[in-house]
Amino acid sequence: MNRQRIIGFAIAVLGLAVSSGVLAAPPASADLIRARQLFFGIENVDATTGAVDNQKVVFSWITNASYAVSLKGRIVLLDTYVHRGETQPGRTPFVVQDLVSLQPEAIFLGHGHFDHADNAAFVAGSLGIPIYASEETCAAMQTDASNLFNAGKISVSSVDCRVTTTKGSTPGAEIVTISQLEPVACITAFRHLHSTTVPADPTIPIVQVMNIADPRDPQMYPPGTALTYPSSGSGGPGGPISIFYQFVMRGDNRFTFVWHNTTGAIKEGCSLGQVYPSGCWGPTVGQHLIDIMKALPPTDVELGSMVSLGYPTNGMRDVVFYNEAIQPKVYIPIHQTNAALPTSSLEFKVSYLKQLNQMVPPFPPELQPEARWMVDPDDYVKPLVYDPKDPRWTKRGGSVGACK
């Protein structure tokens, strides 16, 4: 039923050696060490090599749905948007150039809107690293690269953007395996649904979200000098084309996490850019996506968008639908600084916790995830450290993709 493709890109990793429990790297610049200690914590980064602990998985929130991640010392970016890109660290305690200084080996884009894909072509073009994205978003990345090159911001006019799902494909029709992080981790990706507004769901008691701004916010975090350069993310058709990723660590207890930077109306099978109901794929496609999520290897941590554009009518319903399909042990909300008001995070938390117990049929409490809530901007670049060897992550295999 699903067409499975393998994206097999060889990776040349030079000068890797194991030393003192961390992955040794080539001689590191002071700038790389500073950046990695900023994002991943001084206690997790070798002060001489800049290598990050090769026994742990470390997540670091960059703003919105963007994360820097170290998977046993392999560094990647999940989205590249910075909420307030400024010339000096301010509300966001780093600048865009710090993403380059971090020296990730790859970028994964969930979808191509500016508040996710902005800065991706700049970072990739500066470092010569690949971007993984939909075919539509890859086209936008080449436009960004060309604009940056013409402005003298990068030295190349195109970037290495590797297609995960093909142009115009139906969500769930292509399940791909990405080998970028082998032999450390296997990655499964497929297209799912961008959040959208659908009519109120009469079958489920909905807990409404307040989403009220704190009027003190501008005083607490006054704006600095904005960074401006020609990088728009996707202004074209790549915008709402959304990719769901699951990362499965090799060995140990096969620690897994999923990352989806948007949460669609999966019950109705609808996505942004479509008019309800005629433009939607429909409930059959939505159910197929649920079936794929359920058939993946069991998930330990879900980094999932807490914001659905449907929250004015259906609150946190769609977020809980994804929880029910994925059944993670831990849920970490993302996408808090765009679409939602930055100061509304804890209002969403209250609604989410109430909605967990309002689902029809009921979401059994024993299957509900631990909610590890993040608050903007207090939790930016505060490392979340997980040990894949912890017996809590022991699990059975899944039946979808090559990572099972």
Q: Model-level pTM?
A: 0.92
Residue 259 tokens read as 């990352």
Please compute, for residue 68, the number of CA atoms within 13 A of its CA located in the half-sphere on the CB side: 28
Mean pLDDT of 311-339: 95
Q: Is the pLDDT of residue 306 over 80?
A: yes
What tokens were used for 51? 């290598």
| DSSP letter, residue 208 | P
363 falls within a domain: yes
282 in any annotated domain: yes
Closest alpha carbon to 245 in 180, 307, 310: 180
- CATH of residue 345's domain is 3.60.15.10
- Would you say residue 398 has pLDDT above 90? no
First to last CA, the chain: 17
Task: Enter the DSSP assignment of 53.
Answer: B
CB 78 within 8 A of CB 60: no
Rounded mean pLDDT of 334-352?
A: 90
Residue 168, Cβ density class (10 Å: 0-12 exposed, 13-18 middle, ≥19 buried): exposed
Query: Does some domain include residue 384?
Result: yes
Take residue 198 and report the two structure tokens written for it: 């659908």
Q: In this structure, what are the phi and psi dihedrals at residue 260, rounded to the nearest 5 degrees?
A: -135, 120
Residue 400 lies in a domain: no
Contact status, residue 247 vs residue 256, Cβ threshold 8 Å: yes
Would you place residue 223 in the very low, low, confident or very high pLDDT band (cuts 50, 70, 90)?
confident
The answer to whether residue 15 scores a pLDDT higher than 50 is no
* Tokens of residue 258, six digits: 């999923």
Using the predicted structure, report yes or no on whether residue 256 has a pLDDT greater than 50.
yes
Mean pLDDT of 98-111: 98
- Show the domain range for 150: 3-393
Q: Could you give the CA distance from residue 268 to residue 172 in angstroms, rounded to a whole number? A: 15
Q: Taking all residues of the chain, what is their mean pLDDT, rounded to a whole number?
A: 90
Q: What is the pLDDT of residues 42-92, one digit of tens each?
A: 999 999 999 999 999 999 999 999 999 999 999 999 999 999 899 999 989
Burial class (CB in 10 A: 0-12, 13-18, 19+), 112: buried
Tens-place pLDDT, residues 365-397: 999 999 999 998 999 999 999 999 999 999 877
Asked if residue 401 is part of any domain, the answer here is no
Split at pLDDT 50, 70, 90, the class of 10 is very low
Q: Once rounded to an integer, what is the mean pLDDT over residues 277-300?
A: 96
Q: What domain count does the chain have? A: 1
| Residue 375 in domain | yes
Residue 395's pLDDT is what? 81
Q: Which residues contact 361 (CB under 8 A, 6 or more apart)?
A: none
User: Per the domain annotation, does 99 fall within a domain?
Assistant: yes
User: Is residue 234 very low, low, confident or very high in pLDDT (cuts 50, 70, 90)?
Assistant: low
pLDDT cut 90: percent of the chain above it:
78
pLDDT in tens, 199-222: 999 999 999 998 888 888 888 888
Predicted pLDDT at 232: 60
At 231, list the tokens: 């990088």
User: Could you give the CA distance from residue 246 to residue 403 in angstroms, rounded to a whole number?
Assistant: 9
Label residue 11 by pLDDT band (50, 70, 90): very low
Structure tokens at 381: 């670049």
Neighbours of 55 (CB within 10 A): 14
CA-derived radius of gyration, the chain: 20
Q: Is 210 inside any structural domain?
A: yes
